Amino acid sequence: MGYRVAVIGATGNVGREMLQTLAERDFPCDDVIALASERSAGREVSFGEDEVLKIQDLAKFDFKGVDIALSSPGAKVSAVHSPRAAAAGCVVIDNTSHFRMEHDIPLVVPEVNPEAIAKYKKRGIIANPNCSTIQMVVALKPLHDLAKIKRVVVSTYQSTSGAGKDAMDELFNQTRAIYVNDPVEPHKFTKQIAFNVIPHIDVFMEDGSTKEEWKMVVETKKIMDPDIQVSATCVRVPVFIGHAESINVEFERPITVAQARAALSKAPGVVVVDQREPGGYVTPAECAGEDATYVSRIRKDPTVPNGLSLWVVADNLRKGAALNAVQIAEVLIKDYLKK
Ligand SMILES: NC(=O)c1ccc[n+]([C@@H]2O[C@H](COP(=O)([O-])OP(=O)(O)OC[C@H]3O[C@@H](n4cnc5c(N)ncnc54)[C@H](OP(=O)(O)O)[C@@H]3O)[C@@H](O)[C@H]2O)c1
């Protein structure tokens, strides 16, 4: 017997990728329910090669009898509907930022802290981390195990798909407008995104950082180690899919480039592509549609006693969102929700 699985936000960037990932990985579902807003009710979305699902209105949906919900309808909507689904007995894997830092909600990357999933029983909700955090901790965990990380300085190059489907359209429309000499008007972003970069993702915090930067700091501590210091600068770039990160790491103990490369090469979910020649590294355009977190440009930072620098790239809609959520669901059904 298989599972009843609901995908909340099924018309969105993450929701569509979740449906695709469930189908590709042959997740044992008897029934898949696609939910979105009232606006989309009745529309159709594809599931796998030849199945079509009719969208139902989340607000009217009763979660009784649903085993697992993969949820990505935005933080405010999740705040209302994830607890409602959990109260009906469904385990919710929530992709929004709403529950991530609540102390009794596990925040999970299966390659890094799968044991945290056990804590889902109290609230019935498991949080999926921010896309930039996920790919960073996948790459950092094997290095932390080797030489204990003290401090991380990260700059991100984040694609427009991380801001939803309307943001991708804005990049497309602005790019076209520039070529035909039409006026460029920002709507979703604060400034022109085509042929530009914007050092601002999510709202500003009191200390001058942005909430996206804050998320990378606090989520890394919660998932990996509260003692790691993180300084982040998050930047939106005119790329459709795939986030890149330039990461500088300071360790407590000595670590060589060869040791780091060997540990990363056998780490789950990581692919090392690091040839130190033109093209011997991975870029976002090549990681779109792929499951791995790619690590390139591994090199010593000689300015601190034990330092390394890396370049990390992943598909933000897959490992950064849908794939991570489905991997959590796979651990859930293997270890906790056996049928
Ligand atoms: N994109 C990423 O890389 C990424 C990564 C990790 C987490 N997330 C998080 O996942 C969430 C969704 O991101 P996205 O990129 O998929 O956004 P998106 O493309 O804009 O899609 C939003 C989805 O939410 C649905 N929705 C909006 N309001 C709703 C309501 N009142 N009731 C029910 N459904 C509603 C939309 O349905 P309609 O089509 O009916 O409006 C749509 O299916 C966000 O919280 C985001 O922060 C995104």
Query: What confidence category does residue 1 fall into, taking pLDDT thresholds of 50, 70 and 90?
Result: confident
Using the predicted structure, report yes or no on whether residue 339 has a pLDDT greater than 90: no
Residues pairing with 107 in the sheet: 127
From the CA of 66, how far away is ligand 1's center (Å)? Answer: 20
| 81 and 212 inside one domain | no
| 195 and 305 inside one domain | yes
Q: How many domains does the chain have?
A: 2
Q: Are 313 and 283 in contact (CB under 8 A)?
A: yes
Question: Hey, whose CA ends up nearest to atom 37 of ligand 1?
Answer: 36
Backbone angles phi, psi at 315, to 5 degrees: -75, 115
Average confidence score pLDDT of the chain: 97
| 237 and 147 inside one domain | yes
How many other C-beta atoms can be found within 10 angstroms of the C-beta atom of residue 68? 26
| Model pLDDT, residue 45 | 97
| 240 and 331 inside one domain | no
Backbone angles phi, psi at 218, to 5 degrees: -75, -35
Question: Hey, whose CA ends up nearest to atom 26 of ligand 1?
Answer: 73
Residues marked as catalytic:
131, 243
Region 8-33: mean pLDDT is 97
The model scores a pTM over 0.85: yes
| 67 and 149 inside one domain | no
Atom nearest to 320 CA in ligand 1:
5
**Which mutation among 37, 161, 239 tests ligand 1's pocket best, with the greatest number of atoms within 8 A of CB?**
37
| 145 and 288 inside one domain | yes
Question: Hey, whose CA ends up nearest to atom 31 of ligand 1?
Answer: 37
Tens-digit pLDDT profile for residues 105-161: 999 999 999 999 999 999 999 999 999 999 999 999 999 999 999 999 999 999 999
| 253 and 291 inside one domain | yes
Residue 214 domain boundaries: 132-316
Q: Are 68 and 329 in contact (CB under 8 A)?
A: yes
Question: Hey, whose CA ends up nearest to atom 47 of ligand 1?
Answer: 96
Taking CB atoms and a 6 Å cutoff, what residues make up the pocket around ligand 1?
9-15, 36-37, 39-40, 58, 72-75, 77, 95-96, 131, 161-162, 164-165, 316-317, 320-321
| 143 and 289 inside one domain | yes
| 57 and 85 inside one domain | yes
Indicate which CATH number applies to the domain containing 265: 3.30.360.10
Determine the Cα–Cα distance for residues 246 and 218; give it in Å rounded to an integer. Answer: 19
From the CA of 96, how far away is ligand 1's center (Å)? Answer: 8
Determine the Cα–Cα distance for residues 212 and 235; give it in Å rounded to an integer. Answer: 9
| 10 and 139 inside one domain | no
From the CA of 61, how far away is ligand 1's center (Å)? Answer: 17
Tens-digit pLDDT profile for residues 299-308: 999 999 999 9
Q: Using alpha carbons, select from 199, 288, 204 the residue that is nearest to residue 239.
A: 288
| Model pLDDT, residue 338 | 86
From the CA of 74, how far away is ligand 1's center (Å)? Answer: 5
Region 313-335: mean pLDDT is 98
| 172 and 284 inside one domain | yes
**Which mutation among 7, 35, 38, 95 tests ligand 1's pocket best, with the greatest number of atoms within 8 A of CB?**
95
Indicate which CATH number applies to the domain containing 24: 3.40.50.720
| 123, two tokens | 């609230």
| Model pLDDT, residue 30 | 94
Tens-digit pLDDT profile for residues 283-320: 999 999 999 999 999 999 999 999 999 999 999 999 99
| 84 and 222 inside one domain | no
Pairing relationship of beta strands 68-71 and 91-94 according to DSSP bridges: parallel
Share above pLDDT 90 across residues of the chain, in percent, rounded to a whole number:
98
